[in-house]
Amino acid sequence: MSIPKFLVADNTDQPDSIFIIHTQFPHFAWDVNHDTVEWFDELEGEEEELINEVAELMETAEAFYEREMQRHEAEMEED
């Protein structure tokens, strides 16, 4: 099975949240609506390097989220 790098998730226990799950290292869940991130892996390295890596990951996650929402809205308009 091939798992995508990012997944969109929700949960009825937290109806005000939409999560983006990063399935590769470093694994994290980003609550888009509350702009909070839960890291599942320990981040190691030089501070500047980590800041750049995290910024790039979050930009990629945001682009994924925006693309998915545009596709979802387009599907809803077709129905």
- Return per-residue pLDDT of the chain as tens, 79 residues: 999 999 999 999 999 999 999 999 999 999 999 999 999 999 998 999 999 999 999 999 999 999 999 999 998 888 7
| Secondary structure of residue 1 in the 3-state scheme | coil
Give the pLDDT score at 35.
Answer: 95
69 lies in some domain: yes
Give the pLDDT score at 78.
Answer: 82
1 lies in some domain: no
46 lies in some domain: yes
36 lies in some domain: yes
* Domain span holding position 65: 6-78
16 lies in some domain: yes
Q: What is the DSSP letter of 5?
A: S
Q: Report the alpha-carbon distance of residue 71 to residue 69 in Å, rounded.
A: 5
Number of domains in the chain: 1
SS3 letters across 10-48: CCCCCCCCCEEEECCCCCEEEECCCCEEEECCCCCCCHH
55 lies in some domain: yes
Give the pLDDT score at 61.
Answer: 98
Q: Report the alpha-carbon distance of residue 48 to residue 32 in Å, rounded.
A: 24
71 lies in some domain: yes
